[in-house]
């Protein structure tokens, strides 16, 4: 297992390169040749989901900064949450003959064709953050990311503590704000939460309403407002990310209720704005999903380029936080 704290320190030479993925925003980042050696830089093509949340922005910054530190030429594309844009970007990287392709998949399915094209050109593919479902697992080398199912389980377990601290007993009505439909974190966080709920709380917990908010604040606010119209007696909100939770807080306050008190809130991510909301008592607990994957990704990319064996799945380090930890945790957050 690689630690997120293990940064690459040796730089390799860099040569500038350009490229464009149809329908997606793309930029190329390069640095000067290291040590005057004149050696060619490793070229990494990276396709990002989009910029839908604070987590995603932190993840993008981490990848760009780590590539610069490593001395790689980075070809970066923002898919704007559209799978067709991401596929176009990957095909562009294949045409350009990059050394390694990495991407965070918008959704789980629909990747076999483009991954087969990369394999045919002998370009290794590394998944970041999210997994895919494929008929042939040899189409990608490894996944650098989090255990989303376990995050869902941890959200349910920390909700037990939140309920106990609030003195809430008996039946619990839960609203769930899901992530983007078909995306691995949305599927797996819901699965993990339900596993614990069904095993330990079949008689007292019930998800009364569940809908996607697309991992955005606007989506969280809109969907939560609708939840409160149809289910005004909700006890708990489980949001698949902080941004949807923050949007939901706005809807809860607009309805004249107190987030964190009238409606207990558990979210996933641990971005700065989430911790601010928790320090204000508006979010009760957060399950961390670490976005700082850049250093791990660059270490893996170098190993893959060198033909070294890497683990099939490389997990990030994570933690859980409650309101009474927020003030101490906030100053240490880098994202």
Q: How far apart are CA 272 and CA 276, in angstroms?
A: 6
Looking at residue 3, what is its pLDDT?
A: 35
Which alpha helices (DSSP H) does the chain contain, by range?
Answer: 54-70, 83-96, 112-120, 148-166, 184-200, 217-230, 242-254, 272-279, 294-305, 323-329
| Widest CA span in the chain | 69
Q: Is the pLDDT of residue 274 over 50?
A: yes
Is 63:80 a contact under the CB 8 Å cutoff?
no
Q: Which residue has better confidence, 324 or 142? A: 142
Looking at residue 1, what is its pLDDT?
A: 35
Q: Is the pLDDT of residue 103 over 50?
A: yes
Secondary structure in 3-state letters for 159-188: HHHHHHHHCCCCCEEEEEEECCCCCHHHHH
pLDDT band with cut points at 50, 70 and 90 for residue 334: confident
**What's the whole-number average pLDDT of the chain?**
89
pLDDT band with cut points at 50, 70 and 90 for residue 62: very high
Looking at residue 9, what is its pLDDT?
A: 26
3-state secondary structure of 146: coil
Is 51:16 a contact under the CB 8 Å cutoff?
no
Average pLDDT, integer, range 131-135 = 94
Q: Is the pLDDT of residue 34 over 60?
A: no
197-205: long-range pairs with CB below 8 Å, 24+:
197/156, 200/156, 200/160, 201/156, 201/172, 204/170, 204/171, 204/172, 205/172, 205/174
Looking at residue 280, what is its pLDDT?
A: 96
- pLDDT tens digit string along 148-185? 999 999 999 999 999 999 999 999 999 999 999 999 99
- pLDDT tens digit string along 206-229? 999 999 999 999 999 999 999 999
Average pLDDT, integer, range 235-243 = 98
Is 22:88 a contact under the CB 8 Å cutoff?
yes
Q: Which residue has better confidence, 17 or 271? A: 271
Is 11:54 a contact under the CB 8 Å cutoff?
no
Burial class (CB in 10 A: 0-12, 13-18, 19+), 18: exposed
């Amino acid at each position: 297992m690689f630690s997120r704290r293990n940064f690459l320190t040796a730089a390799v030479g860099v040569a500038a390169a350009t490229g464009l993925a149809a329908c997606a925003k793309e930029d190329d980042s390069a640095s000067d040749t290291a040590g005057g050696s004149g050696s060619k830089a490793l070229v990494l093509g990276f396709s990002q989901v989009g910029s839908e949340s604070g987590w995603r922005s932190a993840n993008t910054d981490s990848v760009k900064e780590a590539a610069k530190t490593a001395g790689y030429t980075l070809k970066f594309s923002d898919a704007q949450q559209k799978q067709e844009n991401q596929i176009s970007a990957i095909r562009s990287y294949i045409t350009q003959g990059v050394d390694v392709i990495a991407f965070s998949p918008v959704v789980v399915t629909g990747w076999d064709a483009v991954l087969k094209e990369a394999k045919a050109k002998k370009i290794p593919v590394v998944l970041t953050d999210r997994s895919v479902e494929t008929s042939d697992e040899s189409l990608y080398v490894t996944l650098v990311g989090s255990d989303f199912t376990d995050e869902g389980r941890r959200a349910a377990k920390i909700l037990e503590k939140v309920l106990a601290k609030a003195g809430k007993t008996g039946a619990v009505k839960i609203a769930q704000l899901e992530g983007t439909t078909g995306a691995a974190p949305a599927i797996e966080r819901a699965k993990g939460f339900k596993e614990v709920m069904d095993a330990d709380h079949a008689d007292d917990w019930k998800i009364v309403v569940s809908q996607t908010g697309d991992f955005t604040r606007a989506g969280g606010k809109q969907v939560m407002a609708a939840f409160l119209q149809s289910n005004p007696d909700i006890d708990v909100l489980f949001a698949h990310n902080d941004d949807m939770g923050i949007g939901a807080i706005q809807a809860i306050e607009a309805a004249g209720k107190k987030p964190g008190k009238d409606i207990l809130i558990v979210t996933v991510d641990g971005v700065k704005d989430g911790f601010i909301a928790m320090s204000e008592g508006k979010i009760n607990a957060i399950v961390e999903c670490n976005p700082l994957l850049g250093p791990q990704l660059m270490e893996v990319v170098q190993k893959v380029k060198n033909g070294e064996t890497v683990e099939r799945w490389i997990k990030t380090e994570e933690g859980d936080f409650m309101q009474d930890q927020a003030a101490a945790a906030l100053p240490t957050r880098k994202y």
